[in-house]
Amino acid sequence: MDIPADPTIEALLRKNAELLQALATSQAQVDVLVKTVGDKQSEIERLQHKLQALIHRLWGRRSEKGAPGQLMLFHDDAEQEQPVKPDTAPDDEEVLESTSPKKKRKPRAAKGKDLPRTRIEHDVTPEEKICACCGEQKQRFGEDVREEYDYVPASVLVKEHVRPKYACRSCGDGVVIARLPPVLIEKGMPGPGLLAQIVTAKYADHLPLYRQEAIFLRHGLELSRQTMCDWLHVTAHHLTPIVLAMRRDLLRRPVIQSDDTHVMLQTNAESKGCQKAFLWAWTAPERDLVLYEFEVTRSMTIVDAFLADFTGEVVVADGYPGYNPCQKRGVKRGGCFAHARRYLREATTHPREASKLLVHIQMLYAVEKRAKELGLDAEARLRLRQEESKPVLAELRAALDRMRGLGTPDGAFYKAWHYLDAQWPHLTLFVDDGRVPIDNNNSEQMMRPVAVGRKNWLFAGSIKGGENAAIFYSVIGTCKLLGIPPFEYLRDVLSRISTHPHRLIHELTPAGWKAAREAGAIKSA
């Protein structure tokens, strides 16, 4: 016998199903809102990090070395997680204090001791040289000297190359005239000193050509920026063999370093449109040579092409993947702990964990500083690193593993952690090779002149102009590393390069020129 359905129960069941459906819909909406709140929270943290990083860059401490004692303030469990130290290493306080010693005041050097001097003597009158008491002539027994600095403005002069003509008076034949000395620009008016000044002013003093145009006009020389630009093209052409010789020298080094920065390239002079291009700096740990390359892209093929003739063993660079193909050539990659330290200092979302990692990195730098102060060679530096840096690296690796998964993928701390983890094989290469530096700061420092320069000359007018800039930066940057006055070097080299044998071009590189000057073959101006 069928029991008739109760309409009340059916209504309740339908109502229950509707409520369950509404509950599921509400739960889905709640899940969406929770995810949205999480995304917004991550966005807030990311923006807060950017704001703090921007504030630090504007008004914060510029140095990335830091004070490890301050980092230890975050270590409430410092006793349980102290970095491992070898038996020969100093205790914690000594290591941490050694990273930020008090700067000793250097003795004040004699001011202007190498400057030319003009003696101006202010004597008393003849009457004052007679003694008022006895009437005898007073005798000179000393003098009082007061130094005063003055400035003589730079001047532009005209050199007239006069060549007398000779001919036979009787027959009017056989006219002779002396040959002109070699010139850098055929039928051009600039001398080597003027060309050296234009190059030095733009690429060492960061004066764009339109400013130099106004400066020369004040000196009485009307010189357009287009004319100077044409002269720079010719000058760069003559300096190219020297830069190629510098390149061959660099590629024979066992360890080289690399970094890059962007510059703007004008693509259309009429519309004034610009695109990003790049200047690459290649240098060596010896800090005696730097080579710049101008490229319109940051492609991996740039690194691969430059290293085609590299006969060394190690390239030290940042984490840019474009350096990975060099490993196929059997070249090892060294990493940069300065980048890791920088990322950790910007990881404000997890300051406690970041400070723990930073303490280990500061201890590594303390070892490097001691090796530099002791003047250790590569073998002795390797032994010191094996004894003191290797245990610190092991503890740093253990700390990284304990922090795995901490933070969100788009967070600052996770990015810093990921950099250390992904770059670990490259970062730790220095501990097994005394020739390899701990960071890539040498190359980064070579980017500073470019960064200052592009704020003044703004952009490269063409690809050729960018290539010329790389040539001039290579020569001037190397001169600065070697302690050579760029103007003095350029003026001398530009006066001789057109007649110098190509097989002896190495004599005109900054290193060769410095050696010749120290040997007395070249007199200082």
> Domain spans of the chain?
64-96+336-439
If residue 309 lies in a helix (H) or strand (E), which one and from where to where? none
pLDDT at 90: 42
Please give the angle made by the CA atoms of 53, 58 and 60, to the nearest 5 degrees.
75
Least confident among 217-231, 265-279, 485-499: 265-279
3 state SS of 419? helix
pLDDT at 63: 60
Task: List all residues 6 or more positions away from 234 whose beta carbon is below 8 Å from its beta carbon.
Answer: 184, 185, 188
| Higher pLDDT pick, 54 / 102 | 54
Average pLDDT over residues 100-118: 65
**Could you give the angle at which helices 225-251 and 463-482 cross, rounded to 10 degrees?**
60
DSSP state of 139: P
pLDDT tens digits for range 314-369:
999 888 888 887 777 788 889 898 888 888 888 777 888 888 889 999 999 999 99
pLDDT tens digits for range 17-35:
888 888 888 888 888 888 8
Model confidence at 98, in pLDDT bands (50, 70, 90)?
very low
Model confidence at 110, in pLDDT bands (50, 70, 90)?
low
Reading phi first (left if > 0) and then psi (alpha if -120 to 50, else beta), residue 272 is in left
Share of the chain above pLDDT 70, in %: 86
| Residue-wise DSSP of 102-133 | PPPPPPPPPTTTTS-------PPPGGGGB-TT
